[in-house]
Amino acid sequence: MKIISKSLIALLFAALVLFGCDGAEDSLVNSRLNDNPVPDFSFDANPGTADFSKTVNIGNSLTAGFMDGALYDLGQQNSIGVMLNRQLQSVGAQQQFNQPDINSANGFNASASNPGAGVILGRFKLDPTIPGPSPLVQGELPGEFQGDRAAIHNFGVPGIQVGQLLTPATGTPGAPGFNPFYARFASNPGTSTILGDVIAAQPTFFTLWIGNNDVLGYALSGATNPGVFTSVADFQERFGATVNTLMANTQAKGLVADIPSILAIPLFRAVPYNAVPLDQATADQLNAAFAALNGFYAAIAANPLVPFTEADRVQRSVSFQAGANPVLVHDPGLEDLTPILDLLQSIGQISAAERAALQPYVQARQLTVNSQTGPELLLLSAATQIGTLADPSNPLSQIGIVVPLPAQFHLTAADIVEIETRRQTFNGIMQQTVNAVNQAAGETRLAFYNTNAAGSSFTNLWGLDGSQVGINIGPQRLMPDFSPAGVFSTDGVHPNSRGNALVVNDMIRTIEQAFGASIPRLSASEILGLPSVQLCAGDCVSDAAGRPADYNPAKLFITLD
């Protein structure tokens, strides 16, 4: 008897199966490439104490216009820098905003492609039959930037951490931390640095949004790769060096943005912790199957010679019921029971076969809701694993149900606390650095965009201030997801064009408050006229691979809890 049906698997990424097909672009909004509304110059604009005549943007993928898992034309054309510059033109900003154009309609989706095998896939679109993102069959590897490298205004480089602004290794092929997105437009690849190129441009104003990847990379690994989790000491040194070098080598004023609540993005919220739906009969069958494991936990907890408590037993006991059930996971934070199994086998209490059956559960438990942090989190990629077979020859080896889901696909309550603590510490460092600069200058040289403050778009969208999730823009309520009414792109991490517009308006408000400026903001009609989600139309891998026979249209768009 099958324990779980295929419909359990909310397959959010299609398999990498290529098949040529043609299709027209299907978007839920008018996504014309040349739709660049002109600001309302009847607005009583005033630059205040800032000089916007040469404004540049510094940062990572959020600044570059990266969205839908790729850097591509439409994303760049609706980058934060482009939108902000358009509004700043009313207060003297340059009429031409230069970016290191990628010149690719589909871009290169690194997370889905395998160049070594000749698989070059493009950005994600939304396939409502999965439901979820699927890469475009046709992608393009990024090529060398052919424009004037000395005239660039957008210095956003996808994937970088704060320290990569400071080192030539970022543009040096083969070096640790090499980033091809910087190398393609670096003034002197292998010698120049991103920050050095910014200083050479001698901006009069800049935005700096960096640090997200110093936390996010670790979270994306399921808290399993500490090598991408920047230490507090390193972050303080590198961020301070970045800001102080800018201040010492330019006369520019600027805006510094901190790190939003990254664990609230759709990548960590689209798949709920209790993503295992069961009927009563199946739940009963699973409970019977796990009775022996639960009995083992009870037996060792009752043995005074074994360092395993009743609390341990309760935490690890596996149980199911009709309805939504928590996913079974491997939790490296649990005490490893391997030594206990070694002991029990050595004294003849369990056989080798029993030992082998128990081994997958030495650090296993079901996810739960923590009283302090809320539900434990599953990554979006967990949807490709839950319900699939760990052993294709064994129909009872469903991952996340019978076999623990590996740690890289989830975050425990302890992981959440660790990540949030580091993020908030970094934000405090940013705020202190900005304050120190302004105090030393005797004036406001730097504005601080607190993305976590009450009234910010992020806080409103996620309901972090206790309000309802979502934000009203004109007649429409926009949501913090990648649905047609969402403000995130289909990679679940980066804002889409509408999301970028909300950030730009927040930045403008912060600039106005810091420098006494008056700058027109993007109107509701302009925001709603920007591209939203785009649907697969015979051009996605999922189209080519064939749609699942048991897809459920009722699950069309996944939203936050």
Domains of the chain: 6-269+415-555 (3.40.50.1110), 276-366+377-411 (no CATH)
Contact 66, 99 (CB under 8 A): no
Angle between helices 232-249 and 194-201 (to 10 degrees): 20
Give DSSP secondary structure letters for 201-259: H--SEEEEE--THHHHHHHHTTS--GGGS--HHHHHHHHHHHHHHHHHH---EEEEE--
Contact 156, 58 (CB under 8 A): yes
Structure token digits, residue 37 = 């509304």
Peptide bond before 131: cis, by omega within 30 degrees of 0? Answer: yes
Which pLDDT value is given to residue 536? Answer: 92
Rounded average pLDDT per 10-residue block, the chain, 561 residues: 38 30 34 43 85 98 97 97 97 96 96 92 91 92 94 98 98 95 96 98 98 97 97 98 98 98 95 96 96 94 87 95 97 95 92 95 97 95 93 93 98 98 98 98 98 94 90 94 93 97 98 98 96 91 64 34 29
**How far is Cα 371 from Cα 237, in angstroms, rounded to an integer?**
35
3-state secondary structure of 341: helix
Contact 540, 59 (CB under 8 A): no
Contact 91, 47 (CB under 8 A): yes
The amino acid sitting at 405 is L
**How far is Cα 101 from Cα 82, in angstroms, rounded to an integer?**
12
512, exposed or middle or buried, with CB in 10 Å at 0-12, 13-18, 19+?
A: middle
Give the number of other Cβ atoms within 10 Å of residue 265's Cβ.
Answer: 25
Terminal Cα distance for the chain, rounded: 32
**How far is Cα 33 from Cα 36, in angstroms, rounded to an integer?**
8
Task: Give the residue carrying structure tokens 């001698």.
Answer: 202
Q: What is the CA radius of gyration of the chain?
A: 25
**Which distant-in-sequence residues (6+ apart) come within 8 Å of 332 by Cβ?**
224, 363, 407
Give DSSP secondary structure letters for 303-317: -TTS---HHHHHHH-
Which pLDDT value is given to residue 282? Answer: 95
Which pLDDT value is given to residue 545? Answer: 61
Closest CA to 142 of 179, 196, 96, 191: 179
The amino acid sitting at 194 is I
Rounded to the nearest 10°, the torsion over CA 196, 427, 156, 534 is 180
Task: Give the residue carrying structure tokens 């690719």.
Answer: 104
3-state secondary structure of 447: strand
Task: Give the residue carrying structure tokens 């105090």.
Answer: 439
Contact 75, 498 (CB under 8 A): no
Structure token digits, residue 217 = 């990379």
Q: For 159, which DSSP code?
A: T
Q: What is the helix, strand, coil percentage profile of the chain, to 5?
A: 35, 15, 50
Task: Give the residue carrying structure tokens 């928590």.
Answer: 326
